[in-house]
Structure 1
């Protein structure tokens, strides 16, 4: 009897543990869409990447300006950037607001920035910008190689009408005022 009870408890605890790790279809679709976006930028398919951005965001920054900005960043001959090792953190349960679903997504990746062709003054400016954006503890400079290694911890809001295909807006505190024009207040409060 004792053995059966222990076996029952083991099976029950295994089931509970499995149930807690089960990924919802929405979460899986968000990961798939965000991976597509990051890989598009990583592969320098900027137009493809820009098409993954939530269309209302282009009321803040016009689409052609966003395309130009991403091209200048990821196709810059003076600073070669590689995106590596995409990892997902927490993904919020999608909330239906005004016929659209919204979910806050935490994720991270590593950036490798080669600044070998820049002069010392530009390297200092890049260092200041990277440190300000990602935090001193997340930016490492390898002077002998002229390379910055960055741990980029990011947040985005995933938006969808059908919970299958998701578009994204990067949500960072410094852009909160502009995002009020794009995202519902309930989502803004979570930033």
Structure 2
């Protein structure tokens, strides 16, 4: 009787360990894809950034339009934006919906926006925009450097058919209406 109990306990522990290993592998693959995406922006490899995006997103926003927007944002001579850091808050367990796996992740992106070449009026306008978008506590102005430091809370959905190669799409609430034809309702309802 004691031997059966120990054997059953050993089997349960083994199954639990196997499940944890699989969950950790999914988590690591998702994190790796998201870090890759952020690094393509950080190092201004914007064509690779576009390649990291979930292809169905380009049914809503044209690929060349998205590339142009990235270039205007990250290669702008008036506002130089640099990615300083990325910190994960959470990586959601992948959910299988209609043959694809979806994982909702939250993270902080620390950005530096150099506005030193702008007029005071433009700096004020940028400050108002950043504060409205990210909240007063998330935006700091460094007067001596003429730059804003932004701790931007972000959400992203990672999508994969095979749980090995993950593509991403921004999932902040402001994009939710655009994503109705891109993401399944079950996933949209969780954003």
Question: Please, what TM-score do these two structures have when normalized by structure 1?
Answer: 0.86
* 3-state SS in 2 of match to 1:76: coil
- Give a deviation string over 1:137-159, Cα, whole Å, max 9, x none: 10001122211011011100110
- Give a deviation string over 1:55-112, Cα, whole Å, max 9, x none: 1111111010110101111111111111012111111110111110000001112101
- Give a deviation string over 1:22-78, Cα, whole Å, max 9, x none: 661111000111111100010000010111111111111101011010111111111
* 3-state SS in 1 of match to 2:110: strand
For 2:133 and 2:20, locate their aligned partners in 1 and report how far apart those are by CA, in whole Å: 32
RMSD (Å), alpha carbons: 1.7
Residues 134-149 of structure 1: pairs in structure 2 closer than 5 A:
134-149=134-149
* 3-state SS in 2 of match to 1:180: helix
Match of 1:43 in 2: 43
For 1:175 and 1:76, locate their aligned partners in 2 and report how far apart those are by CA, in whole Å: 23
* 3-state SS in 1 of match to 2:130: helix
For 1:130 and 1:91, locate their aligned partners in 2 and report how far apart those are by CA, in whole Å: 26
For 2:181 and 2:20, locate their aligned partners in 1 and report how far apart those are by CA, in whole Å: 36
- Which runs of no fewer than 5 residues in structure 2 stay unpaired? 1-12
- Which runs of no fewer than 5 residues in structure 1 stay unpaired? 1-14
Mapped pair 1:72 → 2:72:
yes
Residues paired across the two proteins, number: 174
TM-superposed CA distance for 1:21, in Å, is: 8.5
For 1:27 and 1:50, locate their aligned partners in 2 and report how far apart those are by CA, in whole Å: 22
For 1:21 and 1:186, locate their aligned partners in 2 and report how far apart those are by CA, in whole Å: 25
Question: Please, what TM-score do these two structures have when normalized by structure 2?
Answer: 0.86
* 3-state SS in 1 of match to 2:176: helix
Deviates more, 1:84-93 or 1:62-71: 84-93
Residues 3-14 of structure 1: pairs in structure 2 closer than 5 A:
none
- Please list every run of at least 4 consecutive aligned residues from structure 1 whose deviation after the TM superposition is greater than 3 angstroms: 19-23
* 3-state SS in 1 of match to 2:33: helix
* 3-state SS in 1 of match to 2:163: coil
Match of 2:53 in 1: 53
Match of 2:9 in 1: none
Residues 106-125 of structure 1: pairs in structure 2 closer than 5 A:
106-125=106-125
Match of 2:167 in 1: 167
TM-superposed CA distance for 1:133, in Å, is: 1.6
